Amino acid sequence: MLRVHLLQYGSKLGDVEFNLDRLIKAMDRLCVGDGADVIVTPELYLPGYMSRDMFFQIAEPISGRTISRLVLEVRRRNCHVIAGFAERNNETHVLYNTAVAVGPDGVLAVYRKRHLPSYGVFDEYRYFGIGKGDIPVININGHRVGIAICYDAFYPEVSRVMMLKGAEVHVYISAAPDMSRLHFETFMIARALENVAYTVYVNTVGQYDGLGFFGGSHVVNPLGNVLVRAKYYEEDVKSVEIEPSDVVNYRSHRPILKDLDPSDMELVVKVLNDYVNPRPPLIRAEGKQVITEEVKEQ
């Protein structure tokens, strides 16, 4: 069993210590101490999503004082936290929009956002590098939990990797503005259904530079039912007990894994490669004419 706590807080922009103190106070209220509690914050909760150029001053390595203190406080309470963080790689000096999972044994996983929106009101490429490498799935109280961030939900491959690695719970931390509300409420149900898994969505809330963030954090079960939802447009904390081991039963009735066809994945990779690296046309001359032909597959 897991007790999932949706910490739908706004952030004080640029004040990592203040935001961390609020998180620790929430841990005092919410954590029982049996290792089953998981507190989830919004995306970039610790620095504040709209901190913009302040990221360059306040970002820290995972080994820095903020996460070190968080590890200590989590260990004292025997609980788990998944928190949004602005990470600095000290070797490359690249910043990452990161979700860090912390438990009594220390840092369990570091997930760097793989898909960075840079359109409309978003400009994440200005501040952050693209996350590469593996998609982590961690053990919490005997259950498998995957982690991703906001815009990653637009790419179902991320959740599919989590599912194939055994994740029963898919956590998405987010900082989504008002115009994205319908998207994320649809995605969380879709990801739950297509992977027969629990989805946990935690969004920030508040007004920053005239941009509103709607909150609406929620948990969806493998049947697509919303188990709990936080308030819209105001801070809120919601808690729900889930039993991830039930996923085995859900998947026996809808055998997604058994019915997967690896050739579908191969086709996606092939078509994507063709799209990204199109073959140049064949150009030949016939007399004074230049003829361009599409190169056909062998």
287-to-55, 113, 284, 291 alpha-carbon distances in Å = 62, 55, 10, 10
What does the pLDDT read at residue 149? 99
What does the pLDDT read at residue 289? 77
Residues 122-173 have pLDDT tens digits of 999 999 999 999 999 999 999 999 999 999 999 999 999 999 999 999 999 9
Residues 167-192 have pLDDT tens digits of 999 999 999 999 999 999 999 999 99
Residues 198-228 have pLDDT tens digits of 999 999 999 998 899 999 999 999 999 999 9
Mark whether 294 is an active-site residue: no
Question: What's the pLDDT band for 298 if we cut at 50, 70, 90?
Answer: low
Residues 48-99 have pLDDT tens digits of 999 999 999 999 999 999 999 999 999 999 999 999 999 999 999 999 999 9
Which member of 31, 43, 73, 168 is catalytic?
43
Which member of 79, 87, 124, 150 is catalytic?
150
- C-alpha span between 10 and 4 (Å, rounded): 19
Question: What's the pLDDT band for 100 if we cut at 50, 70, 90?
Answer: very high
User: Taking the CA atoms of the chain, what radius of gyration do you get in angstroms?
Assistant: 21
CATH number of the domain enclosing 85? 3.60.110.10
Could you tell me if residue 107 is inside a domain? yes
Contact criterion met (CB below 8 Å) for 213 and 206: yes
Q: Tokens for 106? A: 């220390």
Mark whether 31 is an active-site residue: no
Could you tell me if residue 266 is inside a domain? no
Could you tell me if residue 86 is inside a domain? yes
Could you tell me if residue 284 is inside a domain? no
Could you tell me if residue 279 is inside a domain? no
Inform me whether the pLDDT recorded for 12 exceeds 60.
yes
- C-alpha span between 121 and 208 (Å, rounded): 12
Judged by average pLDDT, the poorest of 61-65, 243-247, 278-282 is: 278-282
Q: Taking the C-alpha atoms of 179, 147, 204 and 240 in order, what is their torsion angle to the nearest 10 degrees?
A: 110
What does the pLDDT read at residue 297? 61
Q: How many domains in the chain? A: 1
Q: Per DSSP, which regions of the chain are E strands?
A: 2-8, 37-40, 80-88, 95-103, 106-112, 137-140, 143-149, 169-174, 198-203, 205-208, 211-214, 218-220, 226-229, 236-242, 282-286, 289-293
Inform me whether the pLDDT recorded for 294 exceeds 80.
no
Residue 197 gets which letter from DSSP?
Answer: S
Which member of 60, 87, 113, 168 is catalytic?
113
- C-alpha span between 218 and 189 (Å, rounded): 10
User: Can you give the pTM of this predicted structure?
Assistant: 0.93
Question: Taking Cα atoms as reference points, which of 60, 54, 109, 111 lies closest to residue 80?
Answer: 109
Query: In which domain, by residue range, is 111 found?
Result: 2-254
Residue 100 corresponds to which amino acid? Answer: V
- C-alpha span between 86 and 89 (Å, rounded): 10
Could you tell me if residue 288 is inside a domain? no
Give me the mean pLDDT over the 21-43 stretch: 98
Could you tell me if residue 293 is inside a domain? no
- C-alpha span between 149 and 129 (Å, rounded): 14
Look up tokens 């929106």; give the residue: 117
> Helix, strand or coil for residue 166?
coil
Could you tell me if residue 137 is inside a domain? yes
